[in-house]
Amino acid sequence: MNKTITRTLTLTFLLATIAIAALATPVEAITNGEPDAGRHPYVVLVVADNAPGQPAWRGTGILLSPWVVLTAGHVTDGAVACRIWTYEDVTYNNVPFPLYPYGGPGSGAIEGTPYKHPNYAMGNFPGLPGWLVYDVGIIVLNEPVTGVNTYGELPSAGFTETLKVMTDIDFVGYGVQVNLRGGGTPVWSGPRVRMYAPGKLLSTKSAISNLFITCTANPAQGKGGTAFGDSGGPALLGGTDIVLAVTSFGTNNNCAGTGYYARIDKPEILSWINSFPI
């Protein structure tokens, strides 16, 4: 997505672009995850349109109810419409990405209206601490999701600040898993499959901003992390459905190192989320 590339400078959004390089070959998997296998049926694939009928980027979302999806603000920013899928594997009909239909008859998509937090802003402040704020979005669906009986749970205000460093975190998302190289610019790609990976909480007081928590992202010692396309997916309190934060950004192109996750337990963010009819 060009707007992401041009506005993030040296930091990298965890968002996949709708593009693919010809003559590409995979390099390696980077999330150290495994298929979700039904653990988190409320985590959904999100595709955003930047013009009517024009899919432009993808991310991940969290069903809070049959009508309301929580995601990252940069997933809904600039979108005129969004659609979601609840399937664990959205690589249907064996049609190559990005050519397979993002909606329409038989796709299983549910359309919705995107919103971003009213204080969301990117690149409007001097220095690193202000380059991204309130990276939280909501999608209100046009019809209710059926067949899902478990939903993401909102935390209480300030909940993440009660957690200890190295608390278990569960990451879930539809992010890319391979880096395709050859025949042009390298492209992150891979099946649209819901994946799960365990991780650890590093800090609830990020040096960048208290709007974020930081978590492990290196695929080592049994830990995993998030990648492009996981944006908006949950950082869950380990073994629970409590959404501590949504996947926001990472600090390098290899989706390794430290990941930054936008807290939703800030009072002003919880108040905004609860203003929707969950």
Quote the CA–CA distance of 172 and 64 in Å, as a whole number: 15
pLDDT band, very low/low/confident/very high, at 35 (cuts 50, 70, 90): confident
Answer whether 0.75 is exceeded by the pTM. yes
pLDDT tens, residue by residue, 205-240: 766 788 999 988 555 544 444 444 478 999 999 999
pLDDT of residue 132: 85
- Residues in the chain, total: 278
H or E, element range at 74: helix 73-76
CATH 2.40.10.120 holds for 2-273 = yes
pLDDT tens, residue by residue, 96-132: 444 345 666 567 889 999 999 999 988 765 544 567 8
> Domain boundaries in the chain?
2-273
pLDDT tens, residue by residue, 59-74: 899 999 999 999 999 9
Residue 16, pLDDT > 60, answer no
CA 168, 173, 178, 179: dihedral to nearest 10 degrees? -100
The count of C-alpha atoms lying within 13 angstroms of the C-alpha of 251, restricted to the half-sphere facing its C-beta, is: 12
Q: Which residue has 């957690």 as its token pair?
A: 163
Rounded mean pLDDT of the chain? 75
